[in-house]
Structure 1
Amino acid sequence: MIQASAVQHGMWLAAARVAPAAYHMPLVVTFARDPDTGLLAKSCAAVAERHGLLSSAIIERDGITYVVPAAFPAALRVAGPDESIAEEIARPFNLAEGPLIRFALFGRTLVVTAHHLVFDGQSKEVLLRDLAALYSGAIPEPLPTTAADDLAADAARLAERRGAAEEFWTGRWSEPPPLVVAGLELTGRDHGPGQVHPFTPPVPDLPGLTRFETLLAAVHATLAAYGNPRVTTGVDLSTRERGPAGVIGPYATELPVGSESGADLTELRRHLRELYPHRAVPLARAVRRIRPHAALAPVSVSYRRLGETPLFDGELVEVDWLAFAGGVRGDLQLQAVDDGTTVTASLRYSPAAAPVAERFAQDLCAHLTRTAVLAIWREVFNSPEIGPDDDLFDLGGDSLTATQIIARMRKHLGIDVDIDTFFDHPTVNGVVHATAAG
């Protein structure tokens, strides 16, 4: 029996209340042809045994949570003809019995559902890579540490850094205010049933910024445009700063990122990067007077850069990295994955946020498009000072300049603009508005 990590304890407190599916982390893998069920079953069992947390349960003794072996091993189950993938993903876990991962096969589709208590976003890639290696006959290198080693290292980091984190948050932490989205005030910070809106935000590559920073800044700018004087969002950050990347576990935390109305990209990036040295300490351990909630703020953002999808016995598989479990934490929960070319997003929303969720996604995309077009103008003119309302012709541009901008908009954004648009609306805001209206 090993004491659970601080992250696991906080999550266990929240997950023990209602809507447990909000903490389910599904991965849906579809094979090109019918898989070898026996071989797949052996591979699933082996990967669960390899990563000890997957074969565990969480119990409580005298107010302390512990990680213990599961009552039975994780095994592949072949689903019946009347079962649905959605029901499988949403089916509750028995946290005290475990195991905290399930494998179910629906024809050619493997549905892996893990609980967030033992899993994070990067764990999906680790699991898929190990599963593919085992299915293909390879034997992965032994892991250098055990689950007990990793939990002990987590406790040591917490003890080492807690004082600095407490000092950092002193005077910085305040309860996140409600956020207005398209005229509707959102206050939800707990979890419950929800819905999902998939979309593809046009996140541009900007000098000096990662795509994650650009997307987060766009979320803040979009919320500020609704009239919010201060915006605080919960942001998922990886805590995998030490140790091997090939370990499965809940190595993530949520920290608040705030901005004042009108804050620029540089300021928001500075605030974000100031958090990084303190991400190993859960906020509830650094700030004592925090009421437990499933989410730090009504709006949260999660972003992950994907690696290469592994082959299963030499064949490609289709992977749904953003499969939805039917529950949401907070009112708007934006999850995005980046394959190096395209950012794919999933906006999960509560019933309270249902009237404005799609509007928020549309406004976010419009802001990102405006940001991308402005970056193209600045690149073509070789001037970082150009603003969204500067006139193309007053800047010294002409029809050749317009055609260069058009070509880059088509290449990078997939947007076709008629050259007449630049004569009728010769500003970034004008072009973007005319394109959206058309």
Structure 2
Amino acid sequence: MTGSWPASPAQQGMWLTERAGVAGRAFHMPLAVWLDGPLDVEALREACAEVARRHPVLGGVLAEDGGELRVLARAVPPMRDGGDLPEVLAGPVDPVEGPAALFTLIREDAKRHVLLFQAHHAVFDGESKDILLRDLAARYGGAAPAPLGAVYPEVAVRQRARLADALPAAQGYWAARWQEQRELCLPGLSGVSVAAAPGSALDFVVEDLAGLAERLEVTRFEAVLAAFVALLHAYGNARPAVGVDLSTRTELSRDHVGAFVNELPVIGAPEAGTFGEFARSLRVELRRLYRHREVPLARAVDGIGPRAALTPVSLSYRRRPETSPLFPGLGASVEWMMFNGWVRNTLHLQIVDDQAGTAARLQYNPALLDRAGAERIRQDLAALLAAVAADPEAPLDRLPLPGPVPAASVTAGGGPGAVEDGPVPADLVREIQAIFAKELELDDVEADDDLFDLGGHSLTITQIMARARERFGVELSFEVFIDDATATRVAAEVARLREQAC
């Protein structure tokens, strides 16, 4: 499939983060399938090609076109052969230059292979893993998956229309709730960040999450989130903000591979009472949040610049289907939680829940949180979950909650977009102010107002870049907006580029 369609809000946010240089490899999503038995390599190669054609977003790259960020459909490269797993994992996937997705077959011996799929999060999400492998196994076995209810561009256009309709209500919801948190209390913590960095991980198992959730009359996600928030509160965080990944899939998009997810913060703290009371009150607040799940926070509030994660602490929960992919004539085992070696913030709790049990992983930034601190968090969370599983209605003050720990502040970090200071023509600054005001739909913008504080986001930047191209004949670098997104700074860069062109 060829063509293009508007980028989704999630894709716009990831494009912004990639261009800002704060994403690293944090948005790279690997998925490995070990195949045991007499593999038909050519049949698998053709199955990969058919799945890529069925899901054209896998070949998509993000590009600015006339002030709009769009997805341009390209072909996914054919399945590659060879290499070893660590070497192949180090290969890049790129949603701007492409390719955004890759299939690689690694031969371990005559009857054992590893199919490694890598995709950027801009074209892939957690639920896409099951969809991809389901379609791939069907194609390998000679069966055609059921037709999709709509082509991907139609899904993308409808998603954008829903966002426009939902934006006013989301702005009202977040106006009284969102406040940037600059400090964080965790054991072993020396700094706080929402930029991607090489990470470490600790794995563990959550016992009887299903039983706990049933006794509390909440979902499994709500049960583990309540425990995580209660633990963060016990460490000394007055009202912890935990970024959670929420699915934005609808009936139309449920069988599509893509990035149908939005990260939003859950903000709250347990009051006096029982753990069960807190979990059920959190459930009520989540039901309010879900009404606004499609609207990115950066669209609903001002002041959120490029970042790899919304909050320093986050949680993702995915409940997998009861079935696993069946490749005819082969044994198949899947590593659903394959770690890419990076973390998007300071601390992330990942949960994958299926018929085999509940697997959990703490991913953390070892430059800011030492291993002993991460081990303590894992032990404290496991102890708390075990205690509430034994007595879900236990009073909070009788649970094995730790005491407060010292706070650490947000770690400052520079960006790549600075330009040299110097005199800037006042009339040029005023022209850039007018462009800012028009694209932000404001009556007036001051010369030193920050674009992000005024509600700007990735789409605003692409529109300003297009206006500057039309008006001044210059190609602004995206990076100029990162360190200092003001009309004064942008005007200085326009002046520099015009002088350079003379």
Both structures adopt the same fold (TM-score exceeding 0.5): yes
**Counterpart for residue 420 of structure 1:** none
2:79 pairs with one of 71, 76, 88: 76
Residues 209 and 365 (structure 1 numbering): CA distance in 2 closer, same or farther, change over 3 Å?
same
Q: Name the CA distance, whole Å, in 2 between partners of 1:258 and 1:267.
A: 12
Q: Name the CA distance, whole Å, in 2 between partners of 1:258 and 1:317.
A: 40
The offset of 1:319, in angstroms, is 0.7
Matching residue's letter, 2:41 = T
Note if 1:179 corresponds to 2:184: yes
Q: Name the CA distance, whole Å, in 1 between partners of 2:400 and 2:239.
A: 24
**Counterpart for residue 361 of structure 1:** 378
Report if aligned partners of 2:125, 2:259 keep a CA contact under 8 Å in 1.
Answer: yes
Residues 311 and 114 (structure 1 numbering): CA distance in 2 closer, same or farther, change over 3 Å?
same
**Counterpart for residue 241 of structure 1:** 250
Note if 1:26 corresponds to 2:30: yes
Moved over 6 A (4+): none
* CA deviation vs aligned residue, 1:362-413 (integer Å, no higher than 9, x gap): 11111001111114xxxxxxxx5x54888xxxxxxxxxxxxxxxxxxxxxxx
**Counterpart for residue 315 of structure 2:** 301
The offset of 1:357, in angstroms, is 1.6
The offset of 1:227, in angstroms, is 1.9
Report if aligned partners of 2:345, 2:365 keep a CA contact under 8 Å in 1.
Answer: yes
The offset of 1:62, in angstroms, is 5.3
Report if aligned partners of 2:6, 2:69 keep a CA contact under 8 Å in 1.
Answer: yes
* CA deviation vs aligned residue, 1:170-213 (integer Å, no higher than 9, x gap): 11111134221125255211112112212112333333111111
**Counterpart for residue 455 of structure 2:** none
Q: Name the CA distance, whole Å, in 1 between partners of 2:96 and 2:59.
A: 12
**Counterpart for residue 401 of structure 1:** none
- Contiguous gaps of at least 5 residues in structure 2: 108-112, 273-277, 402-502
Note if 1:153 corresponds to 2:158: yes
Larger deviation, residues 288-297 vs 119-128:
288-297
Q: Name the CA distance, whole Å, in 2 between partners of 1:354 and 1:101.
A: 33
Residues 366 and 145 (structure 1 numbering): CA distance in 2 closer, same or farther, change over 3 Å?
same
- Equivalent residues in 2 for 1:335-374 (5 A)? 335-340=350-355, 342-351=357-366, 352-355=368-371, 356-374=373-391
Report if aligned partners of 1:229, 1:261 keep a CA contact under 8 Å in 2.
Answer: no
Please provide the CA RMSD for this pair. Answer: 2.1
Larger deviation, residues 193-202 vs 158-167:
193-202
* CA deviation vs aligned residue, 1:315-363 (integer Å, no higher than 9, x gap): 4411111001111100111111100451101221112123322221111
Matching residue's letter, 1:371 = V
The offset of 1:139, in angstroms, is 0.7
Q: Name the CA distance, whole Å, in 1 between partners of 2:57 and 2:229.
A: 36
Report if aligned partners of 2:93, 2:118 keep a CA contact under 8 Å in 1.
Answer: no
Q: Name the CA distance, whole Å, in 1 between partners of 2:348 and 2:220.
A: 18
The offset of 1:19, in angstroms, is 4.6
Report if aligned partners of 1:57, 1:95 keep a CA contact under 8 Å in 2.
Answer: yes
Residues 343 and 49 (structure 1 numbering): CA distance in 2 closer, same or farther, change over 3 Å?
same
1:273 pairs with one of 287, 305, 312: 287
Q: Name the CA distance, whole Å, in 1 between partners of 2:94 and 2:318.
A: 28
**Counterpart for residue 393 of structure 1:** none
Q: Name the CA distance, whole Å, in 2 between partners of 1:325 and 1:184.
A: 23
The percent identity for this pair of structures is 42
Q: Name the CA distance, whole Å, in 2 between partners of 1:19 and 1:166.
A: 26
Q: Name the CA distance, whole Å, in 1 between partners of 2:338 and 2:254.
A: 23
Matching residue's letter, 2:105 = L
Matching residue's letter, 1:122 = E
Note if 1:320 corresponds to 2:342: no
Note if 1:50 corresponds to 2:54: yes
**Counterpart for residue 493 of structure 2:** none
The offset of 1:429, in angstroms, is 6.2
Q: Name the CA distance, whole Å, in 2 between partners of 1:220 and 1:61.
A: 42
3-state secondary structure, aligned to 2:391: helix
* CA deviation vs aligned residue, 1:66-100 (integer Å, no higher than 9, x gap): 11122x433111123xx3x2332332223334231
**Counterpart for residue 405 of structure 1:** none
Matching residue's letter, 2:80 = R
1:262 pairs with one of 253, 267, 271: 271
3-state secondary structure, aligned to 1:212: helix
Matching residue's letter, 1:283 = L
1:250 pairs with one of 253, 259, 268: 259
Residues 86 and 159 (structure 1 numbering): CA distance in 2 closer, same or farther, change over 3 Å?
same
The offset of 1:220, in angstroms, is 0.8
Matching residue's letter, 2:381 = L
**Counterpart for residue 96 of structure 2:** 96
**Counterpart for residue 421 of structure 1:** none
- Contiguous gaps of at least 5 residues in structure 1: 376-383, 391-427, 431-438
Q: Name the CA distance, whole Å, in 2 between partners of 1:300 and 1:289.
A: 20
Report if aligned partners of 1:193, 1:326 keep a CA contact under 8 Å in 2.
Answer: yes
Q: Name the CA distance, whole Å, in 1 between partners of 2:370 and 2:42.
A: 43
Matching residue's letter, 1:65 = L
**Counterpart for residue 299 of structure 2:** 285
